[in-house]
Amino acid sequence: MLKFIPYVLKSLWRHRARTLLTVSGTAIALSVFCFIGSVQQGLLALTSGANAERTLIVFQENRFCPQSSKLPQDYERTIAKMPGVQEVVPIKVFTNNCRASLDAIVFQGMPAEQLKSARQLELASGNWNAFDQQDDAALVGQDIAARRGLAAGDKFTIGDVSVVVRGVFRSPVAAENSLIYTHLDFLQRARGANEVGIVTQLEVHLADTADPDTVSKQIDGAFRAGPVATTTRTKGMFQTDTLGDLAELIGFVHWLGYACVGLVLSLVATTTVMSVQDRIKEHAVLQTLGVRPLRVFRLVLIESLVLSAIGGLLGVLASTAILSTTGMSIAAEGVTIAFEPSLVLATQGLVVAIAVGILAGLVPGWQASRTEIVPALRHA
């Protein structure tokens, strides 16, 4: 069959406009499919895994947006003494937009030493000493640095918060690459406020033997009669609840991914049917020359497969390049979902394109293989 590949390519080139339109439509549809898959992967990474299940988030009861949660920082002392607790990290969160946004800026203020131990940050530029020694210093994730054109030494202002970038970092957790870390006491005094001793949330790291549900109930029970009641959940559950509406929307959008697959199937099948109809006499001549019907079927199937595969490859490459270079993310209520490209997602896109190409060519190939030679040769 390899010797017939030039014939298939020449057949496609003969109708360049039709081929180009089909390939471009397939590429666009597969790009959308990959974009949808990337945001679903980002959401899954936030809400599952060892870190999401072994870390607790203590938040003010009946509060959602970070701006409304105000916990006494000294709660960390009580929690740190509880069985199964390894470390308690006080965090102050500030975001310029609590609603869902593709360009929300999320600050997290933490004690510098705990930031180093609680986060796996690798500085791409800048250094830790400069961050430690300056009150208004900030470490900026590489994705937000790329979007905003920030580098070490730059000053960055959003709303009433102004910081000096002392480092750009990358993290193995994709969502963290869209965060800005500052000193805890700086964020407590930012925007003209005096909230020293007040934090947004407490992040509780558990020992391997600790039961998250038991510790959560113990924490909430300890502060039920206190000045501020708490709600404690695992990090994964906290992020799932925080992103509730957005997660439902993302869950619904996966149907759009299926629609894209259907669109590719329709495009390629339509083009292949038109190609077969245009070449009825040509297929009859091939059979006259000794080409068996099964081989004609394979020729049409290969043509359909090539159309879909080229479009799919272009779509996957385009979406991967865009996602890798732009560091796209969406945030809601201080929680960020990163659009995560991956080799698995790219492979899925190519497999879908190949499968659709084969399916789209079955019926036209069957029709071409059943062409009767004499009536076909009389075809105008």
Range from 69-78, 261-270, 298-307, 324-333 that averages highest in pLDDT: 69-78
Cα(327)–Cα(307) distance, integer angstroms: 30
Query: Can you read off the two tokens belonging to residue 48?
Result: 């599952």
At residue 54, what are phi and psi to the nearest 5 degrees? -105, 5
Q: What percent of the chain has pLDDT over 70?
A: 88
**Rounded mean pLDDT, 75-86:** 93
Q: Are the beta carbons of 142 and 327 closer than 8 angstroms?
A: yes
Residue type for 46, please? L
Cα(8)–Cα(365) distance, integer angstroms: 13
Between residues 124 and 64, the one the model is more confident about: 124
List, for residues 32-43, the tens digit of each pLDDT value. Answer: 888 888 888 888
List, for residues 215-239, the tens digit of each pLDDT value. Answer: 999 999 999 888 899 999 998 888 8
**Rounded mean pLDDT, 270-298:** 68
User: Which pLDDT score, from 0 to 100, does residue 380 have?
Assistant: 47
Cα(156)–Cα(164) distance, integer angstroms: 6
1 burial via Cβ count (<10 Å: 0-12, 13-18, 19+): exposed
Q: Are the beta carbons of 341 and 54 closer than 8 angstroms?
A: no
**Rounded mean pLDDT, 192-212:** 88
Query: Can you read off the two tokens belonging to residue 235?
Result: 């990090």
pLDDT at 317 over 50: yes
Indicate the average pLDDT of the chain. Answer: 84
